[in-house]
Amino acid sequence: MHKDCERILISEKEIRKRIAEVARSADEKFKGKCPLCVCILKGSAIFFADFVRRLTVPVELDFMSVSSYGSGTASSGKLKIKKDTDADVGGRDVIIVEDIIDSGFTLSKLKALFKERGARSVTIVVLLDKKCRRECDISPDLSCFEVGDEFVVGYGLDYDERYRNLPYIAVLKRGIYGDGSQPLKGTPNSK
């Protein structure tokens, strides 16, 4: 385990097994269709690569990069598109693939955006669901794991752009992102 981590929360083996299960459910759902899988960079890059390789239905892949800004609250913030999809989503079955849903702000805005652009359906697939932090009324259609309010890194998730390449999901040592004397404020894995 990396020296900056406190403990491994989800092992490589558990991740592999669960992604295969979730991909089977997605396969069932999209039988006879050709969904457009959209990777929301950067956090979901690793999950996306593993998830789409487990699908057997034909798929197209696309990439998007967004960031949120505004007052910092889920309801009044704005989503900034840094890189948009190449494909026209009109009439398509879109699968948004995210590493984590926290307040739910990013995914509510993205879902609304794809709907507005005429997507036939929008399905949300996430690796991690931090349900306890939800501020928007949104749930993923498919989720691999639910996690608590801990600072998790690895398998795509970062702290200050580091640790994304760890093959497992781990809890970061408190001393790495603070002096350990203060309780965790805000959303450790998002804004």
Residues at the site binding ligand PRP, with contacts judged by CB under 6 A:
40-43, 67, 98-106, 158, 187, 190
At closest approach, how far in Å is the CB of 82 from ligand PRP?
A: 10
At closest approach, how far in Å is the CB of 48 from ligand PRP?
A: 11
CA–CA gap between residue 174 and residue 95 (Å, rounded): 34
Closer residue to ligand PRP in complex, CB, 103/143: 103
Question: If we measure between CA atoms, which residue out of 20, 55, 19, 3 comes closest to residue 34?
Answer: 55
Closer residue to ligand PRP in complex, CB, 93/102: 102
At closest approach, how far in Å is the CB of 94 from ligand PRP?
A: 16
List of long-range contacts for 166-170, beta carbons under 8 Å, 24+ apart = 166/2, 166/5, 167/12, 168/1, 168/8, 168/9, 168/10, 168/11, 168/12, 168/15, 169/8, 169/9, 169/10, 169/15, 169/128, 169/145, 170/1, 170/2, 170/5, 170/6, 170/7, 170/8, 170/9
At closest approach, how far in Å is the CB of 7 from ligand PRP?
A: 21
At position 66, the amino acid (one-letter code) is: V
Closer residue to ligand PRP in complex, CB, 36/100: 100
Closer residue to ligand PRP in complex, CB, 71/181: 71
CA–CA gap between residue 41 and residue 81 (Å, rounded): 11
Residue nearest to ligand PRP (CB): 43
Task: Check 102, 149, 158, 179 and give the catalytic one.
Answer: 102
Active site residue 102: yes
Structure tokens at 77: 């913030």
Catalytic positions, written as ranges? 102
